[in-house]
Amino acid sequence: MTEPFFPSTPVPSRWRRPALAFTLSLAACLGGESLARAGTVADIAGPANAVLARLEERKAALARAGAATVGVEVRAVEDARSIATLGQVREGSGVVIGRDGLVLTIGYLILEADHIDLIDGSGRHLPARVVAYDLASGFGLLQALAPLPLEPVPLGVSAAVKGDEPLLIASGGDDGDLSLARMVSRRAFSGYWEYHIDGALFTAPARTDHSGAGLFNAEGELVGIGSLVVSDAAGSAALPVRGNMFVPVDLLKPILAEMRSSGTTRASTRPWLGLNCVEYGGHVRVIRLTAASPAEEAGLQPGDLITAVDDTEVGDLASFYKTLWRDTRAERDVTLQVRRGAESMRLTVRSIDRMKTLSRPQGV
């Protein structure tokens, strides 16, 4: 077989081997059970032909999914606060979702960006600009500033993804790759950096080039955007499984128009304290403070246990964030009940709007 993957659709040569593996795995998932029950040549021919027919239906869509995933190279502005944790130069992926060159990616890649390039499957570098960053969902939108002749992919339904269906992860750029994955859990996710979403998709095996990578179903529809490598992809009640967390595109659909028109969403305007926290012994433990943040200025320290927010007890990150954001005013006094060693104290933190702290390129 000289063209093992979708010969009617051009595919970068570096993707052909992993694409073939995906095709074979997809065939097994679509027809493996029927083939296993077959006992004669005639029994095998029917299911096998059905599998091939279903693959034929999907091949163009899956080829477009891989081709529509581009590399994203970013250089942040010189004075960006995010350089301390993300570095000034960042690399990841994005997925073309609009015929006008609109690209969906993960927001932290483009945070405080000064210069952005998109890299297509042929290795061309195209300039791009930031259209939007949504703090609440974690999504980022980019706009190509030169013609990007790639077919956009349709948005699927993240909530409809099943654990037994084959999923395709695609990354872009010079080292872009395709691989098969499966969903091992779907649940809410709370990040240590004041971040919480519902319905996150957790897949295995893990990919290290996850930042902004596309997660596609067997129809070639985009169902998630890559965010993290995690050690507990299957959830805390299961054995540890290393995998990835994908932000579901179901979160994008209600806010896409708002992101395009305003550059963010109303949900992104909320109290921000500048804390990194983890769950510890039924409490929220501070592990790091952002320099010159409201939390640091209020006197919080690494190791402090936060037991209540505005007189409401909190015992995990989800309850901490939901209580903090219940009053959506970004700039307000937040009362924290804190335990430091044997000492208990009440601290008042004047929260701020995180979006107002982000640096922008000169002249923007």
pLDDT averaged over every residue in the chain: 86
Instruction: Report d(CA 170, CA 166) in Å as an integer.
Output: 13
Query: Quick one: pLDDT band at residue 53, thresholds 50, 70, 90?
Result: low
| Mean pLDDT in residue range 118-141 | 96
Lowest mean pLDDT among 31-35, 76-80, 171-175: 31-35
Q: Which helix (H) or strand (E) holds 276?
A: strand 275-280
Residue 30's SS3 state is helix
Predicted TM-score of the model (pTM):
0.85
* Predicted confidence (pLDDT) at residue 214 exceeds the cutoff of 80: yes
* Predicted confidence (pLDDT) at residue 42 exceeds the cutoff of 60: no
Q: pLDDT tens digits for 186-203? A: 999 999 999 999 999 999
Instruction: Report d(CA 238, CA 57) in Å as an integer.
Output: 36
- Give per-residue burial for 176-189: e unless 16+ CB within 10 Å, then b: bbbbbbbbbbbeeb
Q: pLDDT tens digits for 242-276? A: 999 999 999 999 999 999 999 999 999 999 999 99
Query: Quick one: pLDDT band at residue 16, thresholds 50, 70, 90?
Result: very low
| Mean pLDDT in residue range 53-63 | 69
Query: Quick one: pLDDT band at residue 40, thresholds 50, 70, 90?
Result: very low
CB 196 within 8 A of CB 320: no
